[in-house]
Amino acid sequence: MDCEQMLQLIHHYMDGGLSQWRHRAVTRHIDACPPCAHEHHTNVQVRRVVAMKCTEEAPNELRMRIFVALGTCQQEPGPLDISTKSDFRQ
């Protein structure tokens, strides 16, 4: 696994969305690559800050607009639809 592949998978890795094999490969890469370890640490820190500081609930109208938008996104595959890329299959 190279750095570019690791960066493409980092959020899936942090969310627990990788196969066991792919998760181990990312972990090994992070352990062996200081720049990627730093990137991972930065992502962990950002998530912690967001979790601690962003506790305000969105208004219902906004939540409904987001729900509708997400429904539309799921029906129309786009550049973030990774389900068709063989590299990401578990």
Angle, CA 15 vertex, CA 11 and CA 17 arms, to 5°: 95
The structure tokens listed for 87 are: 């590299």
Q: CA 9 → CA 22, 42, 50, distances in Å? A: 9, 15, 20
Nearest to 27 by CA among 35, 37, 39: 37
pTM for the model stands at 0.60
* pLDDT above 80 (res 80): no
The structure tokens listed for 15 are: 């969310």
Give the contacts of 56 (CB within 8 A, at least 6 positions apart).
none
Encode pLDDT of 12-34 as tens digits: 999 999 999 999 999 999 999 99
Encode pLDDT of 39-69 as tens digits: 999 999 999 998 888 888 888 899 889 888 8
DSSP-derived letter for residue 75 is H
In this predicted structure, what is the pLDDT of residue 53? 87
